[in-house]
Structure 1
């Protein structure tokens, strides 16, 4: 089967290459992937694959029915780009100013279309069905949950989901798996401190939100260092801080926005409660008031251990035992594939694309660039894991 997948990849590589370049030149933001969605639908229809369009607005689902009855496995790719102006200088540079594929989703989408081409040729050998999920809006809003709510895991019922990400800090030719928690929940918090503005020369007549804000920012770090078990990962980062408009007036309000990263829902609950408790104590002790909002964006991505085994074995068939390794620690980045892991047994994989791990390819960077050949290991691993899950 490995040789057969190699032959099929070589047969379709030029097509996948062209598709990746076309998508890269025409990047679209989350829930606006109209042209990408049309391209995906068109390519699936050319293969004679059953297609469902406009799932969660721009999502596309393809269904390959195997030659024998059996389970249903889903493979997922994300389609959206980022609001970043591309600074690279090559022939397939973004034609959409201010928007670019700076995270590899163009490669994910093209790779999954390559999987569709390969598996469609051997569908008569498959025991069950393959759902191909082309998902919108992974980067910000999260398109996984809306697709799930619209029934992407039903009709036929999905028994397992697999997905992958081209990863810039892993050497090309290598594949990283993880049993258990693999990526964090990227939650968002907003704190507004309401004081009393006035003249900077008479601060005692005001309630200055700026030093209160400073106290809050400092105190939040003690949640991580003094209230949380140091063996349990927790990140609290204050990233957007603002107050005032001029040098000689005490402002009325101060704003703090940031992110909380956790690997389990218990720590997530603890962090939300602890942040507000700290804010309340500090702010009210200074005679000010506050507003607090905590947005739970994606859950932690926790791989099913049995599905991680299946994925690891599949990857070893593609790149060799010596090139597949277990991540030593989870990534504190977020990924809305996590919603699938909460619904059915699922697993995610990182596929390396760095020529030099000492100088990794930086995701979400205006000069983000990688070689097309790295799609091979992603596409073949996803094809192999689908075959293994269904036929074994």
Structure 2
């Protein structure tokens, strides 16, 4: 049996929508940080266990959960939803605001949970209509990274064998009723770096007797701006940002040391390696010029997210049929997302679902204390 027509799906979603909104609000009130999603896990498992037709409902990856809708035939698709929150004190003013001080679902993962639960309930109501099975994965620790690997290590792609991977991210930047999806690199690989500079401290009135780490750091920050503009080919996409600089402890003391830390975003290993090499070479040159020394540490926490061409073409066609071609855009992001780990293991597609509604003054920003979404987007996600 083929998939039901869009009109039937829309009607089923309308009936389901109040429960999806209620679920989102429950999880929004009870956010938990990466690897601390114990209560979240319990709530997800309780809801999954209450859905008739779901199989293999169980905890995974320490604080995650999984369930299976078993349809007809061999193909199996995984639908992944991340579940962790952020260390952000909520200032949204919502009546269902966070009850966990200092922690907030400020990136929409509460919506991801609710949408996945809604899809599971919708599909489990008539599994015979499915030409294959759907494995639902509620993944912990996306914000810190590591959760995707833990889920895969627990075998979520193995029994039944998963052939494709799908998921979405709610967007406070994209208008409601819109989808952003594109083949190829869609999210970047995040690389953090730290430069420790060592000079020679001294009295501020005798700078000739010291090696001023503040001056070295200032020159280095400026010099690093040339990495992207002068060392990277114009057709490549790379971001290098120094986001933190620490040095000194008194205004009349020349700082002996300084620390610079930042992030690099790239779509390929080659560009990452080139950028890191240039950071090291520039740091060596600047430090040599001033008589300082340095150490460089860097870490790439997850690979770039690359959407499969074929699967993405199917997702885009469905989005255009549902939302209209004028509401589907293709705009890759330099953000990072460890759904990339699933998409390294299986071909698939990850996309943005719009939830911004300026007409209703719902226009928050991700990772912001006032983050908000239009809940009408939840039904569209289902």
TM bracket, shorter-chain basis: over 0.9
Matched, 1:366 2:375: no
- Unaligned 5+ segments in structure 1 are 380-392
Q: Output one character per residue of 1:185-231: Cα deviation in whole Å (capped at 9) or x when no partner.
A: 12100110011211111122222211111121111111111111122
Equivalent position of 2:61 in the other structure: 56
Distance 2:363 2:227 in 1: 31
Alignment partner of 1:140 is 2:144: yes
In 1, are the aligned partners of 2:176 and 2:354 still within 8 Å (CA)?
A: yes
1:347 paired to 2:352: no
Which residue in 2 is equivalent to 1:72?
76
Q: Aligned partners of 1:288, 1:62: CA distance in 2, in Å?
A: 56
Equivalent position to 2:202, from 194, 198, 206: 198
SS at the partner of 1:190?
strand
Contact 2:363 2:373 in 1 (8 A): no
Q: TM-score, normalised by structure 1?
A: 0.92
CA displacement 1:88-143 (0-9 Å, x = unmatched)? 21210111111111111100100000000000012112122100011111112341
Contact 1:192-1:290 at 8 Å conserved across structures = yes
Q: Distance in 1 between matches of 2:109 and 2:335?
A: 16
TM-superposed CA distance for 1:360, in Å, is: 4.5
| Partner residue in 2 for 1:38 | 42
Shift of 1:159: 0.6
Aligned to 2:310: 306
CA contact (8 A) 2:356 2:374 kept: no
User: Cα offset for 1:324?
Assistant: 2.1
Written as runs of structure 1 = structure 2, the 5 A alignment for 1:86-125 is 86-125=90-129
Counterparts of 1:1-392 in structure 2 under 5 Å? Answer: 1=4, 2-48=6-52, 49-66=54-71, 68-327=72-331, 330-356=332-358, 360-379=363-382
Structure 1 CA distance, aligned partners of 2:352 and 2:371?
Answer: 17
Does the 8 Å CA contact 1:212/1:282 hold for their aligned counterparts? yes
1:40-87 deviations in Å (ceiling 9; x for gaps):
111111124224544221111111111x22211001111111111111
CA RMSD after TM alignment: 1.7
Question: How many residues are matched?
Answer: 376
SS of match in other structure, 1:10: helix
What TM-score, normalized by structure 2, do the two folds share? Answer: 0.94
Helix, strand or coil for the counterpart of 1:102? coil
- Counterpart CA distance in 2 for 1:54 and 1:70 is 24
Write the distance in 2 (CA, Å) between the matches of 1:176 and 1:183.
12
Matches of 1:52 and 1:289, distance apart in 2: 55
In structure 2, distance between residues paired with 1:360 and 1:267: 34
- Structure 2: segments with no counterpart, 5+ residues: none
Rounded Cα–Cα distance in structure 2 between residues aligned with 1:234 and 1:168: 24
* SS class of match (1:169): strand
What's the CA shift string for 1:147-177, capped at 9, x where partnerless? Answer: 2233222122211101111112211111121
